[in-house]
Chains A and B, each alone.
Chain A
Amino acid sequence: MGQSIWNSMEQKGYSRRDFLQFCAAAATAAGFGQTGVAQVVSAFEKKEKPAVVWMHFQECTCCSESFIRASHPIVLDALLDVLSLNYSETLMAASGFQAEKSLNDTIANNKGKYIVLVEGAVPTKDDGVYCMIGGKTAESILQTVAKDAAAVIAWGSCASNGCVQAAKPNPTGATPIYKLIDKPVINVPGCPPIADVMMAVVTHLLVLGQVPALDSQGRPKEFYGRRVHDTCYRRPNYDAGLFVEAFDDENARKGYCLYKMGCKGPVTYNACSVVKWNEGTSYPIQSGHGCIGCSEAGFWDNGPFYQHLPSFPGFGIESTADTVGTVVGIATVAGVAAHAVVTNIRKRKVIAEVHAEDQKES
């Protein structure tokens, strides 16, 4: 500890030019632009390398898998290298007591300075027995680790909003971490989140030493500020009313909008259509499949992937609000018609009565 990123790179034989290239790439990844490069250089020259612990709870490790596939290798290498990644169940060499010691030492030696990255939700039912590491529950580990952390980042939908294990009926009581700790949490949802977005969030934290601007759900605005739909290259087809009707039709071949195939792009906040995946190669909609909204809270419970409206609860999986509405509408027409019949019978009586009344009056 105590070393800056520049010191550490210098020791490893990187040239000043390499360092500046790395700074420029990091500035770009974090969205600072050209004017921000100087800030990054200054930060990386002076600031101590932050210690990082990466916690894994109820998850599938897809966030880690995504992270190590970031498309700017120089930034990634450097980040993994320059960050003191002191604890990560999947990436560290240490195991057993060694690993535990590493975690405890990091916390003890870097009070208030280390960064906590959390992957996975935390089970809260039955005293948290559904996820235990080294004999301790996930929740108690989280509380210990988060207590003196400088910043907490929730990687992926599990840590941000519960994801699959929090889907109904949520048997383990899986809970997103922002509900469990008092500190502000940076939520980086997605299943998994985009590698470059993860990297950029970390870079932002390192360079500016502060939490990036977050929206009301704790997500960095720069990546989750717009819907997949708004930045989608198929958007003109949406406005034109050109829709794919079936996955193998002519319209699908022409690349029309996937809205009617249940694309969740219009309700999903993410940077997929801008940053894209796998070194900017593609993203789901580009490869012909609708967005499933994996970065939105509760997306597993939001109905079938191939309907853009959820199923109506209690009416079978295929029934949307429209089916229910149509039935209610027809029932109303039937009720009104029955009433009209009764009214006509009644009207005859009214006519007769008015007639009799007039007779009496005259």
Chain B
Amino acid sequence: MSTPSTVAGNGFSDNAIHPVEYRRVYVWELPVRVYHWINAVALVVLCVTGYLIGAPLRAFYAAEAYQQYWFGWVRFLHFLAAFVYVFNFAARLYWGFVGNKYSHWNAFFPLKKSQQQEIVDVIKADVLETRMHGPISTGHNALAGLIYFGTFLVFVFQTITGFALYSSMSNSWLPRMFTWIVPLMGGEFAVRFWHHLFLWFFVTFVIVHVYLAFYHDYIEGRGTVSSIIGGWKFDREKSGKAGNRK
């Protein structure tokens, strides 16, 4: 999957005659990229419409109810995006078993000793920035993988509570499967509260996620941001230690 290519050394060198070797690695396969962007659009729609459902705007252009339906559309969009998001997520779960090693389910659990060590390294190098260089994973690093796993749990929570709330106005089997959640959580009032609270998890997640994508690209210079468009990242090849900066 990797295409060897050479990239000229950076322009700071006055005599950049010795090229630095980079290896092009196909990290994010097409289904992963498609999942990512469908998920991104669905999540933004869900967050915006979800917030509006909780705190409707004063948007009146009519005096009578029959003349407008904007709140109805907002709710419809929310439900539509929710269905897209759930099936998209289900497809991603499937891909976690058949996709390449970067998208495989075990990238999300730090079960191996090396992954656990990497978490410590990443905290030192990228979170606290106390160490100049850490090892750089080609796919998700172990800490990112673990946090994505936490995110998936929130996905599942929002799906369950969302369907539980939706079930009271639906006869279709999928939402009806979640009716038992409502009494379990102490009534629809409580379900609504938790479903609404986790909206803010996604807002926070998006801020951190987008920032970190730029951060990695900015400090590592190997195409983190473009990788989710084209799928390729770049590994620097040097004295048989591919994957490490040093």
Contacts and interface: CB of A to CB of B under 8 A. Distances in A.
Contacts of A302: 187, 189-190
A350 B132 contact: yes
A355 B67 CA distance: 66
B78 to A, nearest CB: 13
Contacts of A325: 197, 199-200, 203
A302 to B, nearest CB: 5
B33 interface: no
A260 B56 contact: yes
A361 B20 CA distance: 9
Q: Is the interface of A mostly helix, strand, loop or mixed?
A: helix
A87 B179 CA distance: 39
Contacts of A254: 63
Given A293-B189, A296-B187, A362-B15, A332 B207 contact: yes
Contacts of A241: 56-57, 59-60, 68-72, 74
A219 B187 CA distance: 13
A339 B211 contact: yes
A259 B188 CA distance: 15
A309 B193 contact: yes
B46 to A, nearest CB: 14
Interface in B184-223: 186-190, 192-193, 196-197, 199-200, 203-204, 207-208, 211, 215, 218-219
Given A240-B65, A321-B197, A355 B13 contact: yes
A66 B74 CA distance: 40
Contact of A236 (B51, B54, B66, B219): B66
B200 A328 contact: yes
Interface stretch (A53-61, A67-75, A281-289, A340-348): A340-348
A329 B207 contact: yes
A217 interface: yes
A128 interface: no
Interface residues of B, number: 58
B190 to A, nearest CB: 7
A311 to B, nearest CB: 10
B111 interface: no
Contacts of B18: 358, 361-362
A49 interface: no
A351 interface: yes
A259 B57 CA distance: 12
A227 B182 CA distance: 13
Interface in B28-70: 51, 54-60, 62-70
Given A240-B68, A343-B215, A362-B13, A267 B187 contact: yes
Interface in A210-231: 216-217, 227, 230
Contacts of B200: 321-322, 324-326, 328-329
B219 A240 contact: no
Interface residues of A, number: 56
Interface string A287-309: 00000010011110011000001
Contacts of A259: 56
B219 A346 contact: yes
Nearest to B215: A343
B17 interface: yes
Contacts of B67: 240
Contacts of B193: 309-310, 321
B179 A216 contact: yes
B71 A240 contact: yes
A44 interface: no
Contacts of B180: 216
A336 interface: yes
B129 A332 contact: no
B169 interface: yes
B14 to A, nearest CB: 8
B237 to A, nearest CB: 13
Among A240, A245, A332, A347, max chain B CB count under 10 A is at A240
A243 interface: yes
Interface of A: 216-217, 227, 230, 236-243, 245, 254, 259-260, 264, 266-268, 293, 296-299, 302-303, 309-310, 312, 321-322, 324-326, 328-329, 332-333, 336, 339-340, 342-343, 346-347, 349-351, 353-355, 358-359, 361-362
28 contacts: A227-B188, A236-B65, A238-B71, A240-B67, A241-B56, A241-B68, A242-B62, A260-B56, A267-B188, A267-B192, A296-B188, A296-B189, A297-B187, A298-B190, A321-B193, A321-B196, A325-B199, A325-B200, A328-B204, A329-B200, A340-B211, A342-B129, A343-B129, A343-B219, A346-B132, A349-B132, A355-B10, A361-B9
